[in-house]
A and B are shown apart, each in its own frame.
Chain A
């Protein structure tokens, strides 16, 4: 009988001997360079967990406390690294618990492969114990999904899953594997997938359109760049910086694009969108050429579409043809990977400085600083603001941290005020707005970038949606820093109730537990501050710690986030108060 050790060398020798489907799954993951996955076992995935046990020296499995946590951890891992995040769950409820993470990864284009167990082939459709149609359920929220019912399909399908997840516009893939396929033995061999005939992940750039874009940019008097996550996913940070510096064009970002260009770069004019900066929002409706790079004109970015940049010619650099003319008409659509298209554009654009145009941004910034920013970051009132906490984190981390945020007021404040020096530093749930994202995503982010400081900034509402993942942080001693900005409210909903629902605060007051005690229950060092005099030292202490650390900051209960483009308003109708 061959020993376990001999069996483990199978991928090296690459010879076809018979192994079980479950073991094959492990070899596929190893062949794809996976060394870490998140998941939760259960009946229909037990054969795979049995193999994970045998391979634990080469493949680390992190047991999250809920399958949703596994998906967000895998997302956080993927977003800081250049790898595909992997999550695993059993059939039925295990699989359905992945749905939120899949939807989040789908709308935020995060490469992730989820593997679920399924009842044996002969029980499919019989309403067996823990059977659910996860293929049907996950179809709208996956880039691709597939049900494996025969062991022999495993290598080809898993290879395809990884290829699809990471190529082109990335996204989540779910592979559902019936239990019989995990048990059955077959002759294993693995070949990486390099193409799928019906799938063209990266359209070839059209040089004529790039020339036209270059010409338009050179002729523009008041051009504006708005970039999104496509710059990060396309690894085009250098090209973006070169373009901005050569052309002198003011450049603004969507929250998914944040950190692709350092915050303090003189040509970085800030964030667009509902709670973005005053200048880039209002001037979107004054620019003559809008250069959109790797962004998709989400409604939170555009406000009322009928009044979005109507005066401007739009150049849209985009990898996904389905995004062209979906929301905003592109006068010049440039398809392709952003690194490639920007590289081709660079030699065609003239050096410029657009000084007068920049001065308009500076004036607008001054207005925003005087009415909003000053109060947020250097408040004079008693209560602590979220903005000053973010500023203390900036100072303590020297702008080098990856900031992981949840959803709501704290997220908008963090995106507005966090300062980034490195790319892939703003990990947040942008498109789906998934409360509960941050804590597990921070676990994944830290494990994907162990050399980086990872600070999770979370509201008191979202924190309690996935608070059980403190168990993972404790068990594996993952040194993430957790900051809960506690205003005892679902702050963003409360803000809308105040502004648009005549202060009828329906179900937005939170009656919260003692968060410090909860963290301490998980043996995580914890502190709470509620006064300004204690804030700086508390943040410094947290950052100085090399262990997991929890810091609750009790902030003003009824602060609002401004500026704000009210829902359905135009970007130029942005309110400063």
Chain B
């Protein structure tokens, strides 16, 4: 049996209504849960980039990426292991303002975690933290005893260490 591992799939595509549905359907068909999904613009004008994280086997991710790439509006799709990418997630923590003054420990957590204070209002303040999943989880655990009013974490975003082989192809598009 092949082992499951984390893969980051990068999909370069046209920015069309319905494509997200088409791509997510490929995971649904194989009963695979998408662990995280992020859609943004890419380094190429008018080309979107999906960053999808899944936990599966090498064979399955190969097949899935083949089926994603086959979709008409997908320009190119790749998959990488964690070793091959630089990746991060972002999180926002909303916390009651009085805690900042009553609980000295919170200030230490902010300093040690390299979190940023995004805003401070009379009733609450907001911390932003970017990093690996475990760093955000650590910070969450540390803040939890004091009470977190709201928490949200983004999908993974990543870039590859090696050049994406797509770059030349995409550059051609740019000049078309």
Contact = CB atoms under 8 A, between A and B. Distances in A.
Main secondary structure on chain A at its contact with chain B?
mixed
A326 B63 contact: yes
A140 B29 contact: yes
A136 B18 CA distance: 8
Nearest to A198: B75
A325 interface: yes
Given A140-B25, A321-B66, A321-B69, A198 B13 contact: yes
Contact of B73 (A147, A198, A320): A198
Given A197-B75, A197-B176, A198-B14, A139 B22 contact: yes
B176 A143 contact: no
A144 B69 contact: no
Contacts of A321: 66, 69-70
A507 to B, nearest CB: 28
A380 to B, nearest CB: 49
A196 B176 CA distance: 12
Contacts of A139: 18, 21-22, 25
Contact of A136 (B21, B173, B176): B21
Given A139-B25, A197-B176, A320 B75 contact: no
Nearest to A133: B21
B154 interface: no
A421 to B, nearest CB: 35
A321 B65 CA distance: 11
A322 B70 CA distance: 7
A323 B67 CA distance: 9
B41 interface: no
B69 A196 contact: no
Contacts of B70: 320-322
B176 A144 contact: no
A322 B72 contact: no
B157 interface: no
B52 interface: no
Interface in A294-339: 320-326
Contacts of B95: none
B62 interface: yes
Contact of A322 (B17, B22, B69): B69
Interface in B26-80: 28-29, 62-63, 66-67, 69-70, 72-75
A198 B17 contact: no
A111 to B, nearest CB: 14
30 contacts: A139-B18, A139-B21, A139-B22, A139-B25, A140-B25, A140-B28, A140-B29, A143-B72, A144-B72, A144-B73, A147-B17, A147-B18, A164-B72, A196-B72, A197-B75, A197-B173, A198-B13, A198-B14, A198-B72, A198-B73, A198-B74, A199-B73, A321-B69, A322-B66, A322-B70, A323-B66, A324-B66, A325-B62, A326-B63, A326-B66
Given A320-B70, A322-B70, A323-B66, 8 more contacts: A135-B18, A135-B21, A140-B25, A146-B18, A147-B17, A197-B176, A198-B74, A199-B73
Interface of B: 13-14, 17-18, 21-22, 25, 28-29, 62-63, 66-67, 69-70, 72-75, 173, 176
